[in-house]
Structures are given as C-alpha cells and as structure tokens.
Amino acid sequence: MARGKLPLNDLAGAGGRFDVLVRATTAALLTSHGLREDVEVILHLGGGPGPARRLRLNGTNLRGLHADERSAAGMLGKALLKPQPPRGQWREVTPGLDESGGALADTLREWSDSTVFVLDAEAPSFDGMLVGQPELVEGDLGFVLSDDKPLTEADLGGHAVDRCSLGDRWLQGHAAVHIVHWLLDRQA
C-alpha cells in the first residue's frame, strides 16, 4: 500500500505484502550490531488508488530501525500517513527516511551515474561477473528486485541496466539481498 494507516497486525494481507518490503529493507541495512552506512534502500509503493510513492532509507543517517518486522514497519508506516511530496522531490520523514512521489523509472534516472543490476534468475551469474570483472565493485552499484513477476523493459522505462542472477531459482527478496551483500563483502 502507498498511503493510509499501515495495518501492523496484518502486513502480509491488508498491508499488501508490506512484510516482504520490511524483510528486504532490514536485510539490506542491518548488521549484527549496527547499520550498513554505505547502503541506501528505495522502496516503490504502488498499491491502492493514486500515484506511486517511494521511500528512501539511508544507512548513514538512519535512526530507529530495529530488526523486528512490526517495529520496522511502524517506522516506514509513518510516511504513509502524510500527503506525499511531488515526484522527484524528497522530503524527510525521520532521520535517514525520506519520501517522494515517483516510480522505478524515476529512481533509475537518479541512479544514472551508477552501475545498475536487475536480479533475474535467467540472466548470467553475478558471482561469475565479479570473477571476470572485479572492477564492477568500484563505484556505486544499484540492485533492483521485483515483486513476484520479472521486470520487463517497459517497467525499466528504457534505462540501461545489466541483468544478473544469483542462481537458477527465483529467491525471496531478503535472501537475495543477503547473498548480494555476501558476494560484495568478500570482494572488499
């Protein structure tokens, strides 16, 4: 859901599978004893009537993110109660959590100076790409995870991206995030 009161007792149902977004967010940002300061997460919310909304979490400035789903969802849900800003204008909700209107094409335009990968089980292996091109980990990297359907070229709005896989099976988003972090961490 992109607006309204987030039902914390039913994130998987009435929340429109908000539980999946929360798990991917905590997987991307949390370590055993802190936050990954070099990570930014952008969630695209398109459920319900009205325009799509984006939530951006920045590990450098973020405060108050906890590992339990309900607490993390409560923090993200604060943004859904307010009217959203126009497309492309980011407004702070809490330290490290910003919101904006917009869709995936807007995010990809903002990431134009980054190397962007779309995770796709039918694409070449990301691990194999790292072995053949270790310079990939230099500079900013962006990873795009979709919902239960693979992203089409129309979804990507004509933006140049690379497709890569983490294996030949489609994984849940939070598992994919963990694997990407593991692959990148061992390159450091």
User: Which residue ranges make up each domain of the chain?
Assistant: 18-102, 106-185
- Which pLDDT score, from 0 to 100, does residue 62 have? 96
- Which pLDDT score, from 0 to 100, does residue 8 have? 93
Q: Could you tell me the fold of the domain covering 106-185? A: Alpha/beta knot (3.40.1280)
- Which pLDDT score, from 0 to 100, does residue 36 have? 96
d(C-alpha 24, C-alpha 30), whole Å: 10
d(C-alpha 181, C-alpha 148), whole Å: 21
CATH entry, 18-102, from 1.10.10.10, 3.20.20.80, 2.60.40.1120, 3.40.1280.10: 3.40.1280.10
- Which pLDDT score, from 0 to 100, does residue 88 have? 87
End-to-end CA distance of the chain: 37
Let me know if the fold of 18-102 is the same as that of 106-185.
yes
- Which pLDDT score, from 0 to 100, does residue 132 have? 78
- Which pLDDT score, from 0 to 100, does residue 2 have? 87
| Residue that is written with structure tokens 């309204």 in the block | 4
d(C-alpha 76, C-alpha 159), whole Å: 28
- Which pLDDT score, from 0 to 100, does residue 187 have? 83
- Within the chain, how many helices (H) and strands (E) appear? 5, 9
**Residue ranges of the chain with per-residue pLDDT less than 50:** none
